[in-house]
Homo-oligomer: A and B are copies of this chain.
Amino acid sequence: MTAPVCSGMQAAGVAAGLKKNGQPDLGLIYSRTPAAAAGVFTRNVVKAAPVLLDQQRITSGRCRAIVANSGNANCCNGDQGLRDAVAASAAVAAALDIPEEEVLVASTGVIGQPLPVERIVGAVPELVADLTDDGFGRLAAAVMTTDTEPKCIHRRGTLGGQPFNLVAVAKGAGMIRPDMATMLCFACTDAAIPAPLLDTMLRRAVDQSFNRITIDGDTSTNDSVILLANGAGGAVLQDEDGEAAFQTLLDEIFLQLAKWLVRDGEGANKLVEVKVKGALSDQDARRIADTVAESPLVKTALFGEDANWGRILGAAGRAGVAFDPGRVDLYFDDVRMVAGGVGCGEEAEAAATAVLKQPELAITLDLKDGSGRAAVLTCDFSVEYVKINADYRS
């Protein structure tokens, strides 16, 4: 497999001393020419300094570089946090000789500890020197927190016969849930796409991917998904066919990364799709799917490979959505375990237990009330999850 590349884009990742273990913790994306930019950020009321800064800067629709650190969230640090985020961007802008306002910033790590920004500023020369066309893997490693592997996907497509590249890097692992997660994702393309359209396509792709995953129901203060398009590859998005082609590729990459984040969720062993259909509305279906996907009792049963469908119905019943429990069917993959609200017996139980031993499976609830449907991705809740999160700061 060749390394991911995207014309006119370079990436880097170095160790700046933010992580106690000396692992890479500072990454950079650099576009040689101004790129159109779009971003989606956390809806948490408590937003980290880099999110506040980026939300302001991205309104220009232009970006030349993104500097991202792990090991510290730079959140709940007051005005000093904002000054530090600006200082990190300024150091990168100076080293690359680009406008400071065209540098975006992202952070992930512990909340509420002052950012040792002098380490970031001190490491910028090394970071810039580390930039290469094939540096996306090093960037992916530098933004990891409790992820067990760096996550980078590269695809090629064509627009009007002209090839283009799309590279996306993501980190996740903890605090993952719908409406964004503690996740960072940076995607770059060398196709030419105007910023407003880039924004529209980014939001569509996020809705179908990162906004459909949950690990523990907690949302982060730092979630950011940023998409850059610098046009350096020669392909130009100029019609509806092109839009469809690019959207398809973007959706595919984001969904693949979203599943990867869940599979690599803290302590996760299983990727489980929770599907709800037959609800009165899509919104009702989503509320039930979310409640099931976030239920600790459901998730611990998944960890135990226990086809404890009563917990699934119990969770559905507390979602705040009215339905008739006496009509519900429930499936593990294709195995019907509940029909009309009643268990299907030992044979179905045995078949469902076999499904639960798989690394990936789907749980489907059919309420038989209407045509509303929704699906979210979740994982099991393991002993390892608790261990990771009990001593995350130490």
State the A residues within 8 Å of B (CB).
Answer: 43-47, 73, 75-78, 80, 110-114, 174-175, 216-221, 294-297, 300-301, 303-304, 306, 308-311, 313-319, 321-323, 325-326, 338, 340-343, 381-383, 385-387, 389-394
A174: chain B residues at CB < 8 Å are: 297
CB pair B217–A296 under 8 Å, yes or no, is yes
Structural contact, B314 and A219, CB atoms closer than 8 A: yes
Q: Decide if B390 touches A317 in the complex (CB within 8 Å).
A: no
Q: Taking A112-B309, A216-B297, A295-B217 as contacts, is the C-beta distance between A46 and B381 under 8 angstroms? A: no
Contact B76 A315 (CB under 8 A): no
CB-CB nearest in chain B for A217: B296
Given A43-B318, A174-B297, 13 more pairs with CB closer than 8 A: A44-B317, A45-B325, A46-B325, A76-B313, A76-B325, A76-B341, A78-B340, A80-B342, A111-B310, A112-B338, A219-B318, A300-B385, A383-B383
* Nearest chain B CB to A178 CB, angstrom units: 11
Contacting residues, chain B, for A112 (C-beta < 8 A): 309-310, 313, 338, 342-343
Please measure, in the bound complex, the distance between the C-alpha atom of A196 and the C-alpha atom of B83, giving whole angstroms: 62
A46 surroundings in chain B (CB, below 8 A):
313-314, 316-317, 325
Q: How many copies does the complex hold?
A: 2
Complex formed: what's the CA distance from A174 to B298 in Å? 12
Q: Using known A-B contacts A78-B341, A306-B394, A392-B306, determine if residue A297 contacts B175 with beta carbons closer than 8 Å.
A: yes
Shortest beta-carbon distance, A376 to chain B, in Å?
16
The answer to whether A390 touches B321, judged by C-beta atoms less than 8 angstroms apart, is: no
Report the minimum CB–CB distance from A153 to chain B (whole Å): 27
Residues of B within 8 A of A304 (CB): 389-392, 394
Nearest chain B residue, comparing its CB with the CB of A182:
B314
Q: Which residue of B lies closest to A215 (CB)?
A: B296
CB distance from A324 to the nearest CB of B (A): 8
Question: B314–A44 contact, CB under 8 A?
Answer: yes
Nearest CB in chain B: distance from A304 CB, A: 3
A–B pairs, 18, beta carbons within 8 Å: A45-B322, A45-B325, A47-B317, A73-B310, A76-B341, A76-B342, A77-B342, A111-B310, A112-B338, A113-B310, A216-B296, A217-B295, A217-B296, A221-B310, A296-B296, A300-B385, A301-B392, A306-B393
- Chain B residues contacting A316 (CB-CB under 8 Å) are 45-46
- Chain A to chain B: the 4 pairs with minimum beta-carbon distance, closest first: A111-B310, A304-B390, A46-B317, A300-B389
Q: Are A310 and B110 in contact (CB under 8 A)?
A: yes
- CB of A301, distance to nearest CB on chain B (Å): 7
Residue in B closest to A77 when the chains form the complex, CB atoms: B342
Is A111 in contact with B45, judged by CB distance below 8 angstroms? no
A56 to B217, CA, bound (A): 36
* Neighbouring B residues of A45 by C-beta, 8 Å: 316-319, 321-323, 325
Contact, CB under 8 Å: B390 / A75:
no
Q: Which residues of chain B have C-beta atoms less than 8 A from A77's C-beta? A: 342-343
Cα-based distance from A341 to B78 in the complex (angstroms): 7
Q: A310 contacts which chain B residues (CB < 8 A)?
A: 73, 75-76, 110-113, 221
A390 touches B301 (CB 8 A): yes
